[in-house]
A and B are shown apart, each in its own frame.
Chain A
């Protein structure tokens, strides 16, 4: 049993378009799993199905071995799923610190809001900001910080709940080279903590260097699964990427 199992051929359709077409894959504890594929391959849709923002037409999502396909978003989060978004969902009118504070508050629940405990709370917020390296940005408004930084903020917010599974949607886009390198180290640490990390990512260097397993999607189908070296040499994956490139040159 893996931590996360997308099983029984998950299908999602938008009108006539099949965004996820009979996809099944897994992500394990202590591992960084990559989900790659050309634009429109259905990666983010998969994330929406896993986190509960979207109901699949068919298929099952199992988390900790339990079927969560029809479990509401917030209850999946309570069971240990955290996610970031490809299109940012930071709380733009709040400061960076208040973004993390809000996440910590949500994690404590409504009962926690009414009980005192502000001091340990503040320390926790500071620790989370420090972990992703955002201490300097704490007082900025979240809609005023660079995109890459906002992605780290979303990660810090997720970590407030100490989730067993992190779903990261293009976490490195907007980061420069040295920041990406540091981020890769952070990813390995997060997995070493005993978390599962499932990551949609376009930066192939990052994917190849940090992932333990990679699933490649194309037109909603899983076309290859395996270790980075296997994926790199896979003919179907190369076709999916290079095929796209050919079309791009013609257009």
Chain B
């Protein structure tokens, strides 16, 4: 009985820290409609700054706390709102997600650059003091955390209900334009909300560091805990968020206390926030289809079939040349690039055409790789089966969030990735924690592609086939429906399309493509482990896909090459490794608003060059350059 009480108290303390972070998340989301995935990452950076001030530079703890919470964090939050996230709330959810994921990756890169990995021991506040509470020793730090959570709740309540600017904050939730007409200043309100929100992220991070340690990733993933708690209040209600945070803290504490520390159930401890989140989502009521002004999106143009064929032949020829010349280690890199390009192609389908964001695409590749390695059947049917399993899992992820809209779906994929990582991939029946599995290379129609060169060429063929499939789908009726769904789900629904199952199908297809990439990757590497498919690896993948252009096959191929080069660049410049990683993030922050990005700029350049070469006669087809996404007017039966 006593142990229940003491674990409840412990849980309340962690819950209080979650509550502080979560209320910051709710505040920023409700006032600006921008969900800040980097909320945890900002808390992480602030916790490092606090450590730097208080322990490395030896400032008094209270001064460091005041400096971080009162100056650095609010200034950062204000600047982010002012220069990064302003105006994102009215745009598509996918853009918001990409920009804030960029911020997250940038924060991690920055932190690893400024504070390189080493052992650091963050000290609790009032180290050494504490009290005895019903046979449980409670540290002063824990007491303070609970007190602070109460204070934050009270102050937020007073701010929102008793002050002018608080009223303006609540008004801007409903209609910032109207607020402006009545003399309010939505920008100032938003800036203040982000300043406070970031401060709360910092406080949550600082309070948690003595428990979870000064870790780049654990604190960054705090956003999932905060999100799970906030979902109980549907990202709006602060009281329910507090309840959610406390409940999550207590559940986690019980999991540590009463679940076995080995076997399948051991993963539950670290996966508790994700499980909690799924439970809340499943219990949420059906979301309505949103009706609102639809804006078309200008996407990269579809290539003509001849140009597509030419590019494919050129790619295969290039790789064939490379296999003849390059040494094995570099060839491996070419294979990696092909893997990444295939996973990015699955994102072209899902994000570029469909408008949905997956933050765990690499996890689906991991499932494909796991099944492929476990099956031990290095044939086409083995590969196909791996893809099917990945697709089935993709559908299973999409089904509970069927009833919800874009943002929730994307955030749930992040939770899902974490769940897979902790509970499946690291489990003994799968890859195992520090273990790896062996996988053989493919045998197709009796021909074994066991040499690296031959195998890389086979991978390139798969990439080209996938590109063909994606473009064929885009040109056909299904592609048209994909775009229609992205533009207006409400119209699709009233025309008779079951938008929910269509979305599940899209998710499954995209996961299956990633699964094929994973299976091929397993064969390429020969040995694979859980560390190859960590959930956070999906984030740079998404960012590079968007930076290089997530609406075109060219973008995916270039992005795949870029992602392959990233660790190469890092290992050749180890002192700048964090900075290089951070640049990917901040690059996405700068470029993430345009999903066509670099690939489309290349196309524009190419058209300009061709126009220079050709005689300047106006051709009717030139009008396509202004409205690229209109599909060819040739009816399909004429062309086929």
Give A contacts to B, CB under 8 Å.
48, 51-54, 72-74, 77-78, 81-83, 85, 87-95, 97-99, 101-103, 105-107, 113, 116, 118-119, 122, 139-144, 154, 157-158, 160-161
Contacts and interface: CB of A to CB of B under 8 A. Distances in A.
B288 A54 contact: yes
A53 B295 CA distance: 20
B386 to A, nearest CB: 25
A116 to B, nearest CB: 8
24 contacts: A48-B291, A51-B494, A53-B288, A53-B490, A54-B288, A72-B498, A74-B494, A85-B490, A88-B294, A89-B490, A91-B294, A91-B491, A92-B296, A93-B486, A94-B483, A94-B630, A94-B631, A95-B630, A97-B633, A98-B630, A98-B631, A101-B477, A118-B635, A139-B630
A215 B631 CA distance: 43
B291 A53 contact: yes
Contact of B493 (A77, A90, A105, A140): A77
Contacts of A102: 477, 480-481, 484, 495
B633 A101 contact: no
Contacts of A139: 630, 633
B180 to A, nearest CB: 19
Given A90-B488, A91-B296, A113-B477, A82 B495 contact: yes
B493 A53 contact: yes
Contacts of A157: 491, 495
A91 B496 contact: no
Contact of A91 (B476, B484, B499): B484
Interface residues of B, number: 39
Question: Which of A89, A139, A142 has the most chain B CB atoms inside 10 A of its CB?
Answer: A89
Contacts of B481: 102, 105-106
A160 B492 CA distance: 13
A160 B495 contact: yes
A224 B483 CA distance: 42
Contact of A74 (B288, B498, B633, B637): B498
Question: Which of B288, B291, B633 has the most chain A CB atoms inside 10 A of its CB?
Answer: B291
Contact of B297 (A48, A52, A92): A92
Contacts of B492: 106
Interface in B548-591: none
A154 B294 CA distance: 13
A82 B487 CA distance: 18
Question: Which of B297, B476, B494 has the most chain A CB atoms inside 10 A of its CB?
Answer: B494
Contacts of A107: 495-496
Interface in B279-315: 288-289, 291-299
Given A94-B483, A157-B491, A141 B499 contact: no
B496 A77 contact: yes
B360 to A, nearest CB: 27
Question: Which of B293, B296, B484, B627 has the most chain A CB atoms inside 10 A of its CB?
Answer: B484
B445 interface: no
Contacts of A78: 496
Nearest to B295: A92
Question: Which of A78, A87, A102, A160 has the most chain B CB atoms inside 10 A of its CB?
Answer: A102
Nearest to A90: B294
Given A91-B483, A105-B481, A83 B494 contact: yes
Given A89-B294, A105-B480, A157-B495, A95 B487 contact: no
Contacts of A90: 294, 487-488, 491
Contact of B629 (A88, A93, A118): A93
Contacts of B298: 93
B478 interface: yes
Given A107-B496, A157-B491, 5 more contacts: A81-B494, A89-B488, A106-B497, A118-B635, A122-B635
A-B pairs with lowest CB-CB distance, top 3? A92-B296, A77-B496, A93-B296
B291 A144 contact: no
Contacts of A94: 296, 480, 483-484, 487, 629-631
B637 A103 contact: no
B495 A87 contact: no
A158 B487 CA distance: 17
Question: Which of A48, A91, A101 has the most chain B CB atoms inside 10 A of its CB?
Answer: A91
Contacts of B488: 89-91
Given A85-B490, A91-B491, A160-B495, A101 B289 contact: no
B487 A93 contact: yes
Given A77-B493, A77-B495, A88-B293, A93 B633 contact: no
A105 B477 contact: yes
B147 to A, nearest CB: 34
A199 to B, nearest CB: 16
A103 B495 contact: yes
B293 A87 contact: yes
Contacts of A54: 288
A158 B635 CA distance: 22
Nearest to B482: A102
Given A94-B480, A102-B480, A102-B484, A161 B495 contact: yes
Contacts of A91: 294, 296, 483-484, 487-488, 491
B636 interface: yes
Nearest to B292: A87
B352 to A, nearest CB: 12
B401 to A, nearest CB: 17
A13 B513 CA distance: 44
B158 to A, nearest CB: 23
A26 B476 CA distance: 41
Contacts of A99: 484
Given A89-B294, A89-B488, A94-B480, A144 B627 contact: yes
A107 B497 CA distance: 8
Contacts of A72: 493, 498
B288 A113 contact: no
Interface string B620-640: 000000010111010111000
